[in-house]
Every structure is written in C-alpha cells, then in structure tokens.
C-alpha cells in the first residue's frame, strides 16, 4: 500500500507554506500520497484544528501519518512530537492539537501534560538526522514535522526520531457532569463551518429514552435522526459521535449567539 501522509494546518492557500511542506515530504519519499485535509483552520485556533484532525483520522487506513500544524508557540520551548496510536501516527506540536484524535481532550488542560492512552507510543522529535539541515524558528511545519512524517511513512521506526515521552498536552475540555436527576451537563466544544454546535457530550453519555436539550435558554425536545427532521432548531448525534445543536439550513451559532464553552444540559424524561 502506498504511504499516506495527511496535512491539517492553519496556513491558508494564499502563501507557499503548505506547498513547501509537500515539497519536503515528496523530496524524501517521492512515492508518498499527500492528502490535504484542510489548510483553512482559523489562524492559531488549536482547538479547531484538533477537532478537524479527530474527525478525519478514523477514515484513513492503518499506517497513515497525520501531520497537524496549528502552532502559535512555534520557536518556543513547546515540544515537537510524534505519537503512534491505533495503527496510525500523529505528528505535530505538543500543544493539544493531537489530543482529540488521541482521545485525550477532556483529560487535562493545555498547561499540564496527561498520560498517553493505553497502547500508544510517543517521542519528542529530537533526532536532528530527521530534520532539515537548517531549521527555521518560525516554520517547524516544513523543517521538522514534514521530514519526520516522510521518514515515518517510509518505514523509519518511531523510536528512531527522538526520545520517548509518556505524556502529552491535552486541550482540557471540561468533563461531562452526570447528576442524580438523570441530567447531563456539558459544553460546546467546537463550532464547525456550518455553525453547528458540537458538544463534549458523547452518545453514550445521554440519558436513556426521550431527552430534552437546553442551550442558551432554548429547549429542544428529542433527538433528530438527520438535519431535516424536526427543527428548525434541533439536536442530533453527529459524525463525531457527539451531541450537536443545529439549525436546519442555517447556523445555530448565529441563531443562538453561542460560542465555545457555552453550557449545554440534557435531561431525561
């Protein structure tokens, strides 16, 4: 199977940055298949990039190398890392951008490190052999992450790229709270391009049976199976496997004036 490397960044398409990363990867591994997930993550929005990566990783085959570069701390003491988990490898800055894909989003906060998930292996990318000869303080995507990804896709062992790590930084989303009255409380964790409000409440967290979802003072009765059922304001378990709030043919974020961090409550009937 051809080596697959995916790219998720906030570089945009107006400049040369995404193209430079592709050039480095193909110079090291000409046979690589390089797939752009998106380069339109809002600038410096680590959480948005983390959700984009998490939403796509499971769709790719084992052996895929995913590079995520949303890196406002480039050139600082933040670590450059690679983590192997679930048969895939994730490469990027240690700032939480990899944590949702690794299942660690609610495990801590960006100021603290949390243990890697069971069975995962990680390294800090300290071996200069697998960097470009000159490393810019402002473009680790090209000079560290792209070459690391190419070498990994070419069969270089993860442990060869640097020193082992046991912890990574997580986004630190608030945990889901379950109450004695069968209600569940969470937050809006992500707003997608349609304005859908993706919460941190998983399908497994929902009370059994009929539910009522409350957000921004509005109550939604029951879950919809798709974006045309019910509404216009509706609740649905979306493609992330998480509870989402949506407006049919519109933006829930705009309609409700809701942003990330807003409280969402689900009650069983």
**Token duo for residue 211:** 């539910």
Q: What's the pLDDT at 197?
A: 97
Domain boundary among 169, 194, 228: 169
- Specify whether 40 is located in the same domain as 126: yes
- Specify whether 198 is located in the same domain as 148: no
- Specify whether 46 is located in the same domain as 101: yes
Residues 142, 102, 213, CA angle at the centre, nearest 5°? 120
- Specify whether 39 is located in the same domain as 93: yes
- Specify whether 147 is located in the same domain as 216: no
User: What is the rounded CA–CA span in Å between residue 67 and residue 116?
Assistant: 18
- The mean pLDDT of 150-157, rounded to a whole number, is 98
- Specify whether 140 is located in the same domain as 18: yes
| Residues spanned by the domain of 182 | 177-268
- Specify whether 113 is located in the same domain as 37: yes
**Token duo for residue 167:** 């912890």
Q: What's the pLDDT at 176?
A: 87
- Specify whether 94 is located in the same domain as 191: no
62-98 tens-digit pLDDT: 999 999 999 999 999 999 999 999 999 999 999 999 9
Q: What is the CATH number of the domain that holds 113?
A: 3.40.50.10790
**Token duo for residue 235:** 């609740």
Q: What's the pLDDT at 105?
A: 66
- Specify whether 127 is located in the same domain as 253: no
Domain boundary among 141, 169, 197: 169
Residue 110 scores a pLDDT above 70:
no
Question: Could you tell me which residues are beta bridge partners of residue 35?
Answer: 6
- Specify whether 164 is located in the same domain as 244: no
Which segment of 71-80, 141-150, 228-237 scores lowest on mean pLDDT?
Answer: 228-237
Q: What's the pLDDT at 107?
A: 52
Number of compact structural domains in the chain: 2
- Specify whether 163 is located in the same domain as 206: no
Q: What's the pLDDT at 180?
A: 83
- Specify whether 143 is located in the same domain as 181: no
Q: What is the CATH number of the domain that holds 192?
A: 2.40.30.90
Domain boundary among 150, 169, 188: 169
- The mean pLDDT of 230-241, rounded to a whole number, is 92
User: What is the rounded CA–CA span in Å between residue 11 and residue 184?
Assistant: 37
In the structure, what pLDDT confidence band is assigned to residue 188 with cuts at 50, 70 and 90? very high
């Amino acid at each position: 199977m051809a080596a697959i490397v995916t790219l998720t960044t906030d570089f945009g398409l107006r400049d040369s940055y995404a193209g430079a990363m592709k050039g480095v990867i193909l110079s090291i591994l000409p046979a690589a298949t390089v797939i752009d997930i998106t380069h339109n993550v809002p600038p410096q929005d680590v959480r948005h990039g983390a959700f984009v990566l998490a939403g796509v990783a499971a769709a790719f085959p084992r052996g895929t190398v995913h590079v995520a570069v949303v890196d406002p701390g480039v050139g600082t003491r933040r670590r450059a890392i690679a983590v192997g988990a679930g048969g895939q490898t994730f490469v990027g800055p240690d700032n939480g951008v990899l944590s949702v894909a690794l299942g660690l989003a609610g495990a801590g906060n960006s100021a603290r490190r949390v243990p890697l998930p069971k069975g995962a292996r990680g390294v800090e990318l300290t071996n200069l052999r697998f960097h470009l000869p000159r490393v810019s303080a402002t473009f680790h995507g090209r000079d560290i992450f792209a070459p690391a990804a190419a070498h990994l896709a070419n069969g270089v062992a993860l442990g060869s790229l640097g020193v082992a790590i046991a912890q990574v930084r997580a986004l630190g989303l608030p945990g889901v709270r379950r109450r004695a009255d069968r209600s569940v409380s969470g937050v809006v964790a992500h707003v997608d391009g349609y304005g859908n409000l993706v919460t941190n409440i998983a399908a497994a967290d929902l009370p059994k049976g009929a539910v009522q979802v409350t957000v921004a003072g509005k109550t939604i009765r029951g879950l919809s199976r798709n974006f045309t059922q019910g509404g216009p304001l509706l609740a649905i378990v979306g493609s992330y496997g998480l509870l989402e709030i949506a407006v049919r043919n519109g933006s829930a974020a705009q309609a409700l004036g809701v942003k990330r961090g807003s409280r969402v409550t689900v009650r069983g009937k």
